[in-house]
């Protein structure tokens, strides 16, 4: 049953602001508690969970299966299993080289239809796994493609329409690491080695247990957990030495956006160097204090610990921000509803009965206007601060390497001949929509000429929430952001309103309420015949709810 407008307004208000930090606020004041003596950070090895698996041209059998007991890291209940040369893997990290051929045989060993989508890879429809074809329980699906992407961290996850969010949440996700010459140069220059000085950080927020049972409010906002895990570890510790580390961050959360930054034990922000994002290395490194990362986005960062002393600690945290899950009053005659003051568990929010006005307005039969969403986001609403990972310096080491001034060369997409396509994100009749439409299998409301260049103008209504918009098959260039909310505009690095994290090539871009984002897309397509792809919000509850359109390239 579609939610009523009123339910929607209530749901959106449920985790509205209450702990807004202005851009200049002291990090310590806005920050999270540190990590106590927690578990060691889980680091992928050459087997096991997220184990690094260098694929050659042999076909990899990848089995989607239920897991339990000791085989299930941190209570995951579904995963991708592989076994190669007598090594067993759970959600293997596929270690690949640009240009290589990849052959994978997916076996569906779970009780629902599934399909693997290779997030960010430039492949044809047959290999994209976008969900127009699925493997039913017991069936196989074969992939065979050649890598056309730049080096970067990509990933894979299920994509059966309507079932994606649950399967991903239960544990079906994995990394795809593609190297190329730029990557080789970087690793050589900084003496980086995967597993010791180069470490993936996969962010996921989960609730206790492995059940995925979204409420109406969860479907509206996205399914938020009350624990923030890094590589499935809660508030992990990592022992480090005084050198440069590379952290390759993937936000594999169903819905949560993080504002990532590092701080010292005495609460001072500790800047990091952004070197890449979704689509590979930036042209040049950029120093950042903090950066947003939405569902499916990646950040490639360097952290220089050379000047620290033994015993020093650094904490990776998500900082306080206004999540903007809200609906503004339609007119001055409608008073704004201050849900934050109603005790929804937003840290810093005043408790009390400020909501009585809304309670009355909700009318008879609505004794508890929050019944459907009370406690949404639990003790950890989106935008509230939380420590994620603690680094502890254990050892001094002599390390003289410097970050190269040039990381890659990447030509801009030439938009001189481009046509502009408007795309509006909004909500109507209980559903999040793109251009007022919801997804219909087999329909392709976006039709593109192969080898053409387009500019997409993605506009999010003011009365909305942030949406992490993702296109399959083609990386894009962010051209500009306009009318960004203040917290976003505070991070801009050029007069086009772009953020450091917008540079380079992207496959997912977060569009905030009231914001217009222009992206350039080069639809160069070497595959014969019509190809279809998906364009959708990567808040997986929004995606499953139909905030997705088919795109035909012909």
Residue 256 engages ligand C2O in binding (rule: CB under 6 A): no
Q: Pick from Cu ion, ligand C2O, none: which does 536 bind, CB < 5 to 8 A by kind?
A: ligand C2O
Radius of gyration of the chain (CA): 23
Residue 524 burial class via C-beta count within 10 angstroms: exposed 0-12, middle 13-18, buried 19 and up = middle
Closest contact distance (angstroms) between CB of 496 and ligand C2O is 26
For ligand C2O, the binding residue among 10, 119, 248, 298 (CB under 6 A) is 119
From CA 138, how far away is CA 143, in angstroms rounded?
17
For ligand C2O, the binding residue among 536, 537, 542, 546 (CB under 6 A) is 536
Q: Pick from ligand C2O, Cu ion, none: which does 10 bind, CB < 5 to 8 A by kind?
A: none
From CA 127, how far away is CA 207, in angstroms rounded?
33
Residue 431 engages Cu ion in binding (rule: CB under 5 A): no
For ligand C2O, the binding residue among 204, 470, 505, 518 (CB under 6 A) is 470
Residue 506 engages ligand C2O in binding (rule: CB under 6 A): no
- The stretch near Cu ion (CB under 5 A) out of 16-24, 40-48, 263-271, 466-474 is 466-474
Closest contact distance (angstroms) between CB of 57 and ligand C2O is 26
Compare residues 263 and 472 and give the one whose CB is closer to Cu ion: 472
Residue 534 engages ligand C2O in binding (rule: CB under 6 A): yes
Eight-state DSSP code of residue 337: P
- The stretch near ligand C2O (CB under 6 A) out of 235-243, 244-252, 310-318, 532-540 is 532-540
Q: Which residues contact 459 (CB under 8 A, 6 or more apart)?
A: 422, 423, 424, 425, 511, 515, 516, 517
- Segment 149-168, which members bind ligand C2O (CB under 6 A)? 157, 159
Closest contact distance (angstroms) between CB of 15 and ligand C2O is 24
Compare residues 376 and 467 and give the one whose CB is closer to Cu ion: 467
Compare residues 157 and 542 and give the one whose CB is closer to ligand C2O: 157
From CA 6, how far away is CA 1, in angstroms rounded?
14
Q: How many CB atoms lie under 10 A from the CB of residue 428?
A: 12
Residue 487 engages Cu ion in binding (rule: CB under 5 A): no
Whether the Cβ atoms of residue 282 and residue 186 lie closer than 8 Å to each other: no
Eight-state DSSP code of residue 75: G
Q: What residues does 119 pair with on adjacent strands?
A: 155
For ligand C2O, the binding residue among 47, 52, 117, 373 (CB under 6 A) is 117
Eight-state DSSP code of residue 188: H
Whether the Cβ atoms of residue 210 and residue 167 lie closer than 8 Å to each other: no
For Cu ion, the binding residue among 90, 281, 423, 537 (CB under 5 A) is 537
Sign of the Cα pseudo-torsion (136, 153, 390, 290, in order): negative
- The stretch near ligand C2O (CB under 6 A) out of 55-63, 105-113, 359-367, 530-538 is 530-538
Compare residues 47 and 325 and give the one whose CB is closer to Cu ion: 325
Q: What residues does 518 pair with on adjacent strands?
A: 457, 480
Closest contact distance (angstroms) between CB of 212 and ligand C2O is 17
Residue 540 engages ligand C2O in binding (rule: CB under 6 A): no
Whether the Cβ atoms of residue 521 and residue 449 lie closer than 8 Å to each other: no
Closest contact distance (angstroms) between CB of 413 and ligand C2O is 22
For Cu ion, the binding residue among 150, 431, 467, 518 (CB under 5 A) is 467
CA-to-CA dists, residue 172 to 106, 164, 381, angstroms:
13, 9, 24
Residue 542 engages ligand C2O in binding (rule: CB under 6 A): no
CA-to-CA dists, residue 170 to 208, 210, 232, 495, 544, angstroms:
12, 6, 12, 42, 15
Q: Pick from ligand C2O, Cu ion, none: which does 159 bind, CB < 5 to 8 A by kind?
A: ligand C2O
From CA 526, how far away is CA 224, in angstroms rounded?
39
From CA 46, how far away is CA 511, in angstroms rounded?
37
For ligand C2O, the binding residue among 472, 498, 505, 506 (CB under 6 A) is 472
Compare residues 159 and 221 and give the one whose CB is closer to ligand C2O: 159
**Nearest residue by C-beta to Cu ion?**
537
Q: Indicate the pairing of strand 244-251 with strand 198-206.
A: parallel
Q: Indicate the pairing of strand 419-428 with strand 298-304.
A: unpaired
* Site for Cu ion, rule CB under 5 A: 119, 467, 472, 537, 539, 542
Residues that bind ligand C2O (CB under 6 A): 117, 119, 157, 159, 296, 470, 472, 534, 536, 538
């Amino acid at each position: 049953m579609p939610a009523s407008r009123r339910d929607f307004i209530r749901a959106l208000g449920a985790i509205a602001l209450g702990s807004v930090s202005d851009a200049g606020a002291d990090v310590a004041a806005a920050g999270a508690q540190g990590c106590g003596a927690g578990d060691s950070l889980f680091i992928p090895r050459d087997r096991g969970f997220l184990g690094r698996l260098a694929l050659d041209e042999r076909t990899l059998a990848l089995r989607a299966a239920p897991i339990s007991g000791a085989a299930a890291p941190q209570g995951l209940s579904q995963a991708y299993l592989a076994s190669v040369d007598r090594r067993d893997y759970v959600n293997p990290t596929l270690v690949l080289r640009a240009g290589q051929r990849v052959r994978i045989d997916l076996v569906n060993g779970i009780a629902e239809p599934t399909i693997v989508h290779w997030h960010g890879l430039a492949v044809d429809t047959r290999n994209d796994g976008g969900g127009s074809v699925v493997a039913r329980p017991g069936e196989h699906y074969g992939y065979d493609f050649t890598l056309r992407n730049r080096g970067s961290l990509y990933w894979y996850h299920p994509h059966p329409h309507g079932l994606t969010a649950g399967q991903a949440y239960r544990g079906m996700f994995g990394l795809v690491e593609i190297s190329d010459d730029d990557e080789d140069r970087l690793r050589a220059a900084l003496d980086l080695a995967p597993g010791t000085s180069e470490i993936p950080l996969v962010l996921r927020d989960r609730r206790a247990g492995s059940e995925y049972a979204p409420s109406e409010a969860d479907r509206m906002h996205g399914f938020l957990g009350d624990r923030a895990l890094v590589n499935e570890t809660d508030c992990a510790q990592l022992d480090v030495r005084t050198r440069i580390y590379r952290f390759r961050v993937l936000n594999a959360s169903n819905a949560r956006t993080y504002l990532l930054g590092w701080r010292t034990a005495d609460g001072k922000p500790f800047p990091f160097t952004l070197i890449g994002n979704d689509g590979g290395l930036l042209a040049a490194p950029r120093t950042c204090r903090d950066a947003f990362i939405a569902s499916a986005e990646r950040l490639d960062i360097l952290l220089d610990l050379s000047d620290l002393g033994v015993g020093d600690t650094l904490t990776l945290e998500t900082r306080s921000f206004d999540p903007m899950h809200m609906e503004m009053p339609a007119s001055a005659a409608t008073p704004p509803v201050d849900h934050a003051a109603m005790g929804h568990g937003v840290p810093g929010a005043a408790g009390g009965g400020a909501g009585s006005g809304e309670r009355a307005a909700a009318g008879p039969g609505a004794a508890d206007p929050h019944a459907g969403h009370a406690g949404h986001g639990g003790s950890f609403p989106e935008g509230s601060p939380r420590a994620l990972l603690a680094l502890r310096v254990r050892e001094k080491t002599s390390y003289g390497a410097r970050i190269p001034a040039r990381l890659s060369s990447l030509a801009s997409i030439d938009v001189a001949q481009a046509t502009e396509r408007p795309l509006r994100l909004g909500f109507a009749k209980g559903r999040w929509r793109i251009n007022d439409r919801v997804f219909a299998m087999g329909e392709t409301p976006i039709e593109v000429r192969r080898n053409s260049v387009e500019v997409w103008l993605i506009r999010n209504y003011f009365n909305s929430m942030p949406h992490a918009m993702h296109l399959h098959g083609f990386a894009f260039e962010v051209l500009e952001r306009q009318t960004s909310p203040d917290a976003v505009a505070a991070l801009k690095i050029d007069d086009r309103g772009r953020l450091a994290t917008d540079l380079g090539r992207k496959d997912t871009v977060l569009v905030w309420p009231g914001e217009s984002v222009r992206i350039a897309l080069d639809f160069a397509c070497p595959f014969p015949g019509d190809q279809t792809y998906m364009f959708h919000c990567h808040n997986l509850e929004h995606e499953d709810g139909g905030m997705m359109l088919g795109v035909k390239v012909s």
